[in-house]
Amino acid sequence: MCKEENHILFKAKAITLLDDDEAFERTSIPEWWEKSICRRILRNPYTAYYWCTHCVQHGFYNKVTDYKGIWGLTSLPKGSMNGFYDVDDGRVYWGVIEENEPKALKHDSNVVILLPENQPFPDKQVKEVFEKHRIGFFTYPSKAFFEELKALLPSAYVIHDSETGDSVLEVWGNKVEQIFEEEDCHPLNGEQI
């Protein structure tokens, strides 16, 4: 666990496990990290906004794909907002799945914004931050991206997970480093590793 002002990072080496049939199992974020987030943050009423993206290379999008949007191009459950923006490699279709008072985190996206209940979600401004930082294809969120998102949403917590050799779970938010303890890195008694 690494703590900075308004930021906490959980990080572990990803290990590939083999089942008895020798099939590879996908590495993933340890579930007890997510349980810690739910235990520490979701005890208050929040609305979760799952920011989903689907990238389509140049030459493979048109009016039909624009009409379908992310919900028609993927198997994701239909959310409440959607749109698209263009980057160097093509078009990024985005959508937001909204969940009131979540008890656990879904895995429909790797960026989740938790806003206090009844606070409006500024989808156009959030989309502008994603577009400005050219998120999509092989461009991933940076520290500057999250700081800008945090400035736009001062009462929110932004959760980002990634698996690029290591399992990493980041939480950005006002004084978030004071919420978590070292014990949140490890499984609770009785949980399997």
Task: Say how many C-beta atoms besides its own lie within 10 A of residue 162's C-beta.
Answer: 15
Q: What is the pLDDT of residue 42?
A: 82
Whether pLDDT at 8 is above 90: yes
Q: Taking the model in full, what pTM does it have? A: 0.86
Q: What is the pLDDT of residue 193?
A: 43
Q: What is the pLDDT of residues 91-144, one digit of tens each?
A: 999 999 999 988 888 878 889 999 999 899 999 999 999 999 999 988 888 999
Express the helix, strand and coil content of the chain in percent, nearest 5 each: 25, 35, 40
Rounded distance, CA 12 to CA 170, Å?
12
Mean pLDDT value of segment 169-186: 87
Q: What is the pLDDT of residue 22?
A: 47
Q: What is the pLDDT of residues 18-63, one digit of tens each?
A: 555 544 444 567 778 888 888 888 878 999 999 999 999 999 999 9
Give the number of residues written for the chain. 193
Q: Which residue has the higher pLDDT, 176 or 103?
A: 176
Whether pLDDT at 88 is above 70: yes
